Structure 1
Amino acid sequence: MSRTSGRGRSGPSRFRLNSDGRRHPLENVLSVGTVLCGLVAFVAGLFPAAHSVASFLGVLGFFGGLYSQYVSATTPERALNIVGIVASFVGVAFGIRNGGFLP
């Protein structure tokens, strides 16, 4: 009499981007890149001297995130895309408020 079923391990679940069991390397890279651009743009937007970095990375993360959202295959990828798009938008807004795109 076995207490475990063949469906998986018991314990804490891990966050996986490939929740459908198939590999999506391009979509995963785009999702993680969107989040990284968004976080860097957001943090850089908090410092007035880094307004150019915040502006450029914010625009890159925003439009890259929109494309990533368009080609995403799983729900976790879409969740990361939304976080990255919002962070990028806020970062570019801070960057423009602090001085815009040019140094």
Structure 2
Amino acid sequence: MAQTVHRFPPLTLNTDGHRHPRENTLVAATVVLGLVAFISSFWHHMNLLSSWTGLAGIVTGGWGQFISVTTAERCVLVVSLGMAAFGFYLGMAHGGLFG
């Protein structure tokens, strides 16, 4: 049939059809930093790792929000920015940036 409907669109951050290598790199960096900060914040002796990666994730996520182009990029950035902020704040509560 000529009028078939695609049920699942491809999962991509480039929903406008253009390439965004700088924006996608910031999204990937924020996701990695947010995950590391979030997971490491559950152990109080890893406060240096969680606070520094959380701070870096907040900075990269904020910059990514500033230059993001598509809604998919913004959605992933907001979730990973929240994880980075959570890890940063718990890392600060457990001892801060310098131990």
Q: Do these two structures clear the TM 0.5 threshold for a shared fold by scoring above it?
A: yes
Equivalent residue letter for 1:64: T
Number of aligned residues: 99
Equivalent residue letter for 1:16: T
**What's the offset of the Cα at 1:36?**
1.2
Instruction: Report matched runs for 1:1-103 at 5 Å.
Output: 2-5=1-4, 10-103=6-99
SS in 2 for 1:15: coil
C-alpha contact 1:32 1:80 (8 A) present in aligned 2: no
Counterpart Cα distance in 2 of 1:4 and 1:36 = 40
**What's the offset of the Cα at 1:56?**
0.3
Stretches of 4+ moved more than 2 A in 1?
2-5, 9-14
Q: Report the TM-score when normalising by structure 2.
A: 0.92
Counterpart Cα distance in 1 of 2:26 and 2:74 = 11
Which runs of 5 or more structure 2 residues have no equivalent in the other structure? none
Q: CA RMSD in A?
A: 1.4
Q: Deviations over 1:3-59 (max 9, x none)?
A: 435xxx724333210000000000001011111111110101111111100000000
Identity %: 32
**What's the offset of the Cα at 1:83?**
0.8
Rg larger for: 1
Which runs of 5 or more structure 1 residues have no equivalent in the other structure? none
Equivalent residue letter for 1:31: V
